[in-house]
Structure 1
């Protein structure tokens, strides 16, 4: 049997702890000393104010620290009482191309301008071009060394099932490599006399603000690659007739988010005194994981065409405001022509916009022109099969249109 120390009936440690707790709750009695000191003019201070004086803290701006978030309400410096319909890169017009036509006051011409059609009819390319384009497709889609985690693949029948993540070339890199290689092949054919008059810019931003039937529209879009030229594309000759689609009962600005925080600004990436500042062709990339409808459905072909049109319109409008002032609201002194190409790495959509007026109202007599064709598939499948590269259903017409757009002036 283990012997233990005998404890007293009243433990001294416990007793002293309880004693201090009781004594600590006593309220000091008023002795009248403070009142006597005040009569003599002596200031009485609290001991805590002397032992722990309050120090006023000053705010110091340190470079590299996270800035304090600005509340997104009426206290924000860019807050406006009037709402603005803000169109950005990932916006989708639910009405598709008809809504884009009414929004930008454009009539649709389902063909390319005459100078491009004539160039396609008389175009003679070397026989080695198709071989080079095939190699460019393989080099950008399967032969590049980049290996990153690709987006998740969802199965509609099993929405909560997580498939194993796959690795490969990112969507952004595939499109950047493909467009760069197509432009490189085009410059080889065109020669130095044509390529010296053009310049390229990656990830260019364009911003502008317009009014339409009492609604304020704000546009801020990005073009993955832009071709600038030392002179503007010639105005398309001829008069084209057509009517805008009827969207009733749908409003023109449907599916465009409303915001109270915005800036009315016009931004064009190049100054007017630069020799190659005229917009020639913009290349935009469509990524289904970033651009999608608010209700979750896939983007339709008409909505894809609308995106090509709106981006070309914003570029032309920003250039018009830069040349003729931000107060310009009516017919342009000289129309601006911008070519637009949109791709997801396989499907290409080509269009040409001629901006004649910035008056987007329903009563505007002058219309803008939108020339385009349906989508073209560069190929149907590009992958590895049995350890070898495989390219199926290559379409050479895509590069021929690409070449005609580049050489148009």
Structure 2
């Protein structure tokens, strides 16, 4: 054993308390400023006359009541319910979610979005790069990061604890800065409302089963005017003959265990009826990409459907059946540098009927290749300007 030198260490808390005990007894010295001001005729006012006195313990303080947190009462029901939350991962991918939500898929984004997805200017690309560097490297916030256990490449090896910026904070900071930049590019977007960490819950019937979707969006962007529907009545009617995917012998509810204790309270993240859903931002805060691209797109469809259905049921008061006016909702699904964009049109709440919903999607895009420190210098490589161009196309819809 090597003999090491013993060094003295001070407890920061005890050191601060001892210093406060000494410095707290110091008195304010008289600088003579009051006498000089009085000699020149300048009135001197006692600060106690203009400052409000502190509250005493025996006085009754009238403060506004604290908001009551939402408490979900889970009761045992007679009918089981399949619950889809953030932990649900489709086994078959997008095809499985199509059968759950009764939706057909288009392999490209709507033409209205692509027409407004203009090329970025040099200034816009530079500001996006600055936002990426600020969110991933230059943020001073530090937390204890979770351990990464790689059982394939490093079996039995446990990495040391590291401190840094958590992935959830990186995604939120980057999304918020991109939204600020988009609001400057699209002036009419200033009237929209942004809600953070909005929880949505919806309960529906699927043939002889009961399903419940409980999803939280990192941001919900709402607009005073609803998005225009992309398919009209004649085009929606043509979707009835379009075949749905077949995943037999698997069930659409695979990987979703039925639960007996649940709540039937439906709610939408935005309670105001004066704002309509525009775009939801989903942050899949995982250090590694656990899903394939098809599964990732399926999760985007599931989130889009749950938020659109909850809005139709809670705000529009549509309990079941087809909608007279479809609900259009845009979705941006993010996990680190992976960005998946889609547009969803809710035509019906009947999940087994002939009327189908529509989901426009495209392959995911990689915003950047590498963002890290090299030789103590921040480095950003592989920036993809098409991601921000598509975000402009989504943000410009009205």
Relative to the length of structure 1, the TM-score reads 0.75
Counterparts in 2 of 1:193-232, with a 5 A limit?
194-232=188-226
Q: Kindly indicate whether residue 396 of structure 2 is the aligned counterpart of residue 407 of structure 1.
A: yes
Checking the alignment, whether the CA contact within 8 Å between 2:293 and 2:363 is kept in structure 1 is no
Matched residue, 2:312: 320
Question: Can you list the C-alpha shifts for 1:236-255, whole angstroms capped at 9, x where unaligned?
Answer: 03626432110100111111
Matched residue, 1:143: 138
Pick from 144, 147, 156 the counterpart of residue 151 of structure 2: 156
Structure 2 SS opposite 1:336: strand
Pick from 168, 173, 176 the counterpart of residue 177 of structure 1: 173
How big is the shift at 1:408? 0.7
How far apart, in 1, do the equivalents of 2:286 and 2:374 lie? 26
How far apart, in 1, do the equivalents of 2:159 and 2:371 lie? 22
How far apart, in 1, do the equivalents of 2:379 and 2:157 lie? 30
Structure 2 SS opposite 1:233: coil
Checking the alignment, whether the CA contact within 8 Å between 2:221 and 2:277 is kept in structure 1 is yes
How far apart, in 1, do the equivalents of 2:368 and 2:182 lie? 19
Change (3 A) 1:406 1:77: closer
Matched residue, 1:282: 280
Checking the alignment, whether the CA contact within 8 Å between 2:271 and 2:315 is kept in structure 1 is no
Matched residue, 2:271: 271
How big is the shift at 1:77? 6.4
How big is the shift at 1:167? 1.7
Pick from 326, 334, 340 the counterpart of residue 335 of structure 1: 326
How big is the shift at 1:125? 4.1
Matched residue, 1:255: 255
Checking the alignment, whether the CA contact within 8 Å between 2:167 and 2:286 is kept in structure 1 is no
Question: Can you list the C-alpha shifts for 1:102-144, whole angstroms capped at 9, x where unaligned?
Answer: 1000101001112112212xx2543200011111101000111
How big is the shift at 1:88? 1.1
Matched residue, 1:128: 123
Question: Can you list the C-alpha shifts for 1:242-296, whole angstroms capped at 9, x where unaligned?
Answer: 32110100111111121101112220133344x3x2010000111236x99xxxx
Checking the alignment, whether the CA contact within 8 Å between 1:201 and 1:226 is kept in structure 2 is yes
Checking the alignment, whether the CA contact within 8 Å between 1:87 and 1:257 is kept in structure 2 is no
How big is the shift at 1:323? 3.7
How far apart, in 1, do the equivalents of 2:366 and 2:119 lie? 21
Checking the alignment, whether the CA contact within 8 Å between 2:142 and 2:164 is kept in structure 1 is yes
Work out the number of aligned pairs and report it.
320
How far apart, in 2, do the equivalents of 1:77 and 1:200 lie? 30
Checking the alignment, whether the CA contact within 8 Å between 2:182 and 2:392 is kept in structure 1 is yes
Structure 1, unaligned runs of 5 or more = 1-69, 71-75, 293-297
Question: Can you list the C-alpha shifts for 1:172-193, whole angstroms capped at 9, x where unaligned?
Answer: 11001100111111111112xx
Change (3 A) 1:324 1:173: closer
Counterparts in 2 of 1:27-106, with a 5 A limit?
78-106=75-103
How big is the shift at 1:300? 2.0
How far apart, in 2, do the equivalents of 1:223 and 1:395 lie? 25
How far apart, in 1, do the equivalents of 2:261 and 2:78 lie? 9
Q: Which has the larger radius of gyration?
A: 1
How far apart, in 1, do the equivalents of 2:271 and 2:383 lie? 40
How far apart, in 1, do the equivalents of 2:74 and 2:277 lie? 33
Checking the alignment, whether the CA contact within 8 Å between 1:349 and 1:374 is kept in structure 2 is yes
How big is the shift at 1:299? 2.2
Question: Can you list the C-alpha shifts for 1:11-46, whole angstroms capped at 9, x where unaligned?
Answer: xxxxxxxxxxxxxxxxxxxxxxxxxxxxxxxxxxxx
Matched residue, 2:337: 346
Matched residue, 1:7: none
Question: Can you list the C-alpha shifts for 1:46-94, whole angstroms capped at 9, x where unaligned?
Answer: xxxxxxxxxxxxxxxxxxxxxxxx9xxxxx9611121100111221121
Structure 2, unaligned runs of 5 or more = 1-71
CA RMSD of superposed structures (Å): 1.9
How big is the shift at 1:201? 0.5
Matched residue, 1:187: 183
Checking the alignment, whether the CA contact within 8 Å between 1:178 and 1:345 is kept in structure 2 is no
Q: Kindly indicate whether residue 233 of structure 2 is the aligned counterpart of residue 235 of structure 1.
A: no
Relative to the length of structure 2, the TM-score reads 0.77
Change (3 A) 1:163 1:124: closer
